[in-house]
Amino acid sequence: MDFQYGCFVHAVLLAFACCAVTCGAQNTTSGRSLLQSGLAQTPPLGWNSWNHFGCHINEDVIRETADALVSTGLSKLGYQYVNIDDCWAELNRDSNGRLVASASRFPSGIKALADYVHSKGLKLGIYSDAGYYTCQKQPGSLGHEQVDADTFAYWGVDYLKYDNCYNDGSKPENRYPKMRDALLSTRRPIFYSLCEWGLDVPATWARQIGSSWRTTDDIEDKWESMISRADQNNEFAQYAGPGGWNDPDMLEVGNGNMTPEEYGSHFSIWALMKAPLLIGCDVTSMDKKTYGILSNSEVIAVNQDPLGVQGKKVNKLGDLEVWAGPLSNNRVAVVLLNRSNSRTIITAKWEDIGLNPSAVVRVRNLWRHRELEANHQGSLTASVKPHGCKMYVLTSVSH
């Protein structure tokens, strides 16, 4: 590892370590912090119902999705969370003030569904809101944090997405810790995903509260929406790392309104940014191209790299961009992104991506699953399709 690159990694890891100590000291509930629970040492992988199904969900959809994650082999690649989004509950709590699953959509109840998902070796996620109502006007958890956390733990829930609709106007910094403390008091490990849409810049304060935090508004299945979320999330790279992750929202890969090239760019950038990789399509009917993107084990490995440093945009020339980030074992991940409407040559220079300018590197193309024939020194150049990308891992063979 050269001096420049080594100092960069050391500084990032030192910042994470200091943050972990500070956050652990501030969160005394049950004598544990979310970081110490070990849930978010790498970004979460899984599936969420909202982007494709919206409110059209039921227990059959969830069971069939769990089955498909296993049968397609996606679960073996790390996709473990099966997350129910909004619209799962009855409009009224029961006589004890507890949330109740919709009798028509989830007649077996959430506990039985969690048992089924667990039997597949997977984990179940659920959704609530730090307001009086969810975004679809079902009961929220504001003022009911402890009873809801206890309910989720009893059901066997493993992940909570916590939204921000219909709140009381107070700062999310004050509302979100209440659910954190309630979850910790249950002593069940539950991944806590803060979804306040980046309004109060949660990257700067949420590490002591949750396992991930949204840095953007909701994503749409459009190139412009996706790429703008990447730009926004890029601004907060310094705040992500083992124990807590920036979240530019869920994946749209396979939902049909972008091209395969655009979906490949979407997945590559999300992986490089160490974003949660939560599939948002119908995995029971995805086509081969969608599966090929979501199942790329080499791209997933970049996302799950134990060093846990978020890659970021390191050079930009008009619509031509170089994104990069350090990986474990003295490696660097690089994405050459073409935001223009025509095929273009893009070059990544060693000084931009944290390598010694004289370093000789071995280059592996992650989408072609092969190493380039010749080693490279000083720079890497490739021709990139419109709205497409090339993704590589570079390994130094000399300094």
Q: Which residues are catalytic?
A: 163, 218
- What is d(CA 285, CA 345) in angstroms, rounded to the nearest whole number? 36
Reduced to 3 states, what is the DSSP secondary structure of residue 192?
Answer: strand
Q: Is the dihedral of CA 390, 396, 398, 399 positive or negative?
A: positive
CB-based contact 290:312 (threshold 8 Å): no
Which three-class secondary structure string do you get for 231-256? HHHHCCHHHCECCEEEECCCCCCCCC
Beta-strand ranges (E) seen in the chain are 45-48, 81-83, 123-129, 159-163, 191-194, 212-214, 245-247, 277-279, 312-317, 320-327, 331-338, 344-349, 360-365, 370-371, 376-377, 379-384, 389-398
Residue 251, phi then psi, degrees to nearest 5: -75, 145
